Amino acid sequence: MSNKIVRSQIPKTLPDIQKFFGTNVEDIGSKFYNNYNQNSFSKQKDVYRNNNIDYKVHYHHNQTVLINTILKKYKPLPISLKQLTKYDDLSSNISDKKFKEKLLIESANFIRQQLVIRIALKIKEFQCLPFKISSNKHLFKVYKSYYSIFENFRKFPRLKTIEDNEKFLKNTQKILSDLNLVNLFNLIMGSLEISNLKFLPKKNLDTWINELLRARISRRLMIEEHISLSQRLSSTACEKEKPKDVNIAVLGDMFQLCDLKQNINDIAKNLSELMAKEYAEKGKKLPKVIIDGQQDLKLYFLPIHLRFMLNEILRNSFEATLNNDNNEDSTDITITVIKNEKSVILRISDHGGGLPLNTNKNTITSFGKPQEVAMSCLKALNILTRSTVDEIVANTSLETLQYDSNLTSKINKKLNIELKIKPESNVDNDKNFEKPLLKMLDRERRFKLGIGLALSKVYAEYWNGSLELHSLDGYGTDVVLTLGDVVYYGNKLCLDRV
């Protein structure tokens, strides 16, 4: 029997399904959306002024622009850290101003093109998700944000002059402080909700969120390196600057030579102050952090990522130790530091009683959490998000925020967070690079995130490392944090991993 379709059997017109929805309904797609998840979409009007999508235009735009014009013609270029900073490295040894400006414009055009291609890939991934996942209110906000960023960079004309670069910088910095501000929170909240609804297996969920977050870090690194280069080349005093560290000259100003001992001590002091009052009333002795091994080790790293990972691991160790009722156990937390050619390894050991035997260790470092933990995490993330943007973003679209310098300055003023942890590093660079992480670092103790180790694992893996848990029930837990040496991996070509 033939499986060929006879041409005459193909209907010449599409079935009229509108009759099932009444004569007053113009947008069938909107009706489907509202019927499927009324709760999710009704709450987005405060954030997105035009919440209703024109599905016909959107579909046409996908085919003609996103797919045919971008994805079918271009592919993202894998780049290394040293390639990313090649313009910076060249500019340090060149005195010709016009040639420096040419390098700057080339850098901006490269960044612009790569951002368009990379964000287009992520948009397409969102569109390929099952509808019940992409219609989640938090993930839908991320999708809308990505599409707005895509359109912004795509429509920005090719740069030809140094004045064009100034406009490009202003536009890019607004996007960094506006649209991307809430995407990290929304991605995590969306992943927690779809995991609890069992829309996606935990393993698949973690793989997807991990890829999205790594791509996010990669895009921000590219942008921040160009901003740093522009600021240096535009400075009239750049020739008088003192010679830079040879490794920072190669890696870029985003990276600093971080003193591990100083970072650990500052974080331990901050956590002790945070927990002192509550546990002093219970008669508990605060843990003492002991650094073992290569105590005076320094490494080139992104300071905010290093502080975030150390803070989340130590925060868990502090709480486990203080909540352990076995008075015979030591309250010391020992951090053993060793280094080899490719990486730095830290083992954080506590005597906090360990994890129960029936605990799935993979759940600790997963974005898929049990319902009780997920609800606590969602509550904390909602409060953190509202505390930073609700007063400013209420009834205003994120698209509008991109171009409104007054609103942008209000956001920047609102997010002028003074951390208690202040190692000797470029803190201003940190604030520009990852404000949501700063907000999580500075959170009150009552805000239980539940995803601190999961996020730390993403950042560790981005830097060619890992995060592993080893626990003994009734005794304690070892967390092994491995961080790839950014100097060693500086020449490695990758898309979303250094």
CATH superfamily of 256-371+415-484: Histidine kinase-like ATPase, C-terminal domain (3.30.565.10)
Mean pLDDT of the chain, nearest integer: 76
Band (484; pLDDT cuts 50, 70, 90): very high
Assess contact for 47 and 40: CB atoms under 8 A: no
Average pLDDT score over residue span 386-412: 43
Q: Which of 100-109, 138-147, 172-181, 295-304 has the lowest mean pLDDT?
A: 172-181
pLDDT at res. 419: 27
Whether the CA torsion 182, 185, 187, 189 is positive or negative: it is negative
What pLDDT digit, counting tens, does each position of 289-348 carry? 999 999 999 999 999 999 999 999 999 999 999 888 776 667 899 999 999 999 999 999
Q: How far apart are CA 48 and CA 395, in angstroms?
A: 8
Give me the pLDDT at residue 280, please.
76
pLDDT at 169 over 60: yes
Q: What is the pLDDT of residue 457?
A: 95
Mean pLDDT calculated for residue range 80-97: 66
Span 43-52, mean pLDDT? 37
| Cβ 300 vs Cβ 256: under 8 Å | yes
Q: Give the pLDDT of residue 477.
A: 94
- Residue tagged 């041409």 (tokens): 7
Neighbours of 56 (CB within 10 A): 10
What residue ranges of the chain are covered by domains with CATH 1.20.140.20?
A: 57-249
* Mean per-residue pLDDT, 94-116: 84
| Predicted TM-score of the model (pTM) | 0.78
Question: When comparing pLDDT for 234 and 355, which is higher?
Answer: 355
Which residue ranges does the chain devote to CATH 3.30.565.10? 256-371+415-484
Structure tokens at 347: 């083992």
pLDDT in the model for residue 101: 83
15 band by pLDDT with thresholds 50, 70 and 90: very low
Q: Tell me the pLDDT band of 269, cut-offs 50, 70 and 90.
A: very high
Q: What is the mean pLDDT of residues 450-462?
A: 92
Rounded mean pLDDT of 152-163? 92
Is residue 418 scored above 50 in pLDDT?
no
At how many degrees (to 10) do helices 162-177 and 179-196 cross?
A: 40
Contact at 8 Å (CB) between 193 and 152?
no
- Is residue 365 within 8 Å of residue 454, measured between CB atoms? yes
pLDDT at residue 136 is higher than 80: yes
Task: Give the confidence band of 435 by pLDDT, cuts at 50, 70, 90.
Answer: low
3-state secondary structure the chain: CCCCCCHHHCCCCCCCCHHHHCCCCCCHHHHHHHHHCHHHHHHHHHCCCCCCCCHHHHHHHHHHHHHHHHHCCCCCCCECHHHHCHHHHHHCCCCCHHHHHHHHHHHHHHHHHHHHHHHHHHHHHHHCCCHHHHCCHHHHHHHHHHHHHHHHHHHCCCCCCHHHHHHHHHHHHHHHHCHHHHHHHHHHHHHHHHHHCCCCCHHHHHHHHHHHHHHHHHHHHHHHHHHHHHHHHHCCCHHHCCCCCHHHHHHCCCCEEEEHHHHHHHHHHHHHHHHHHHHHCCCCCCCCEEEEECCCCEEEECHHHHHHHHHHHHHHHHHHHHHCCCCCCCCCEEEEEEECCCEEEEEEEECCCCCCCCCCHHHHCCCCCCHHHHHHHHHHHHHHHHHHHHHHHCCCCHHHHHHCHHHHHHHHHHCCCCCCCCCCCCHHHHHHHCHHHHHHHCCCCCCCCCCHHHHHHHHHHHCCCEEEEEEECCCEEEEEEEEECCCCCCCCCECCCC
Tell me the CATH number for domain 57-249. Answer: 1.20.140.20
Residue labelled with tokens 């009704």: 42
**Does residue 393 surpass a pLDDT of 90?**
no
* Angle between the N-to-C axes of helices 162-177 and 97-127, in degrees from 0 to 180, rounded to the nearest 10: 40
Query: Which residue shows structure tokens 């399904």?
Result: 17
Least confident of 143-147, 209-213, 388-392, 493-497: 388-392
pLDDT at 30: 45
Q: How confident is the model at residue 173 (pLDDT cuts 50, 70, 90)?
A: confident
Q: Name 347's bridge partners.
A: 336, 480
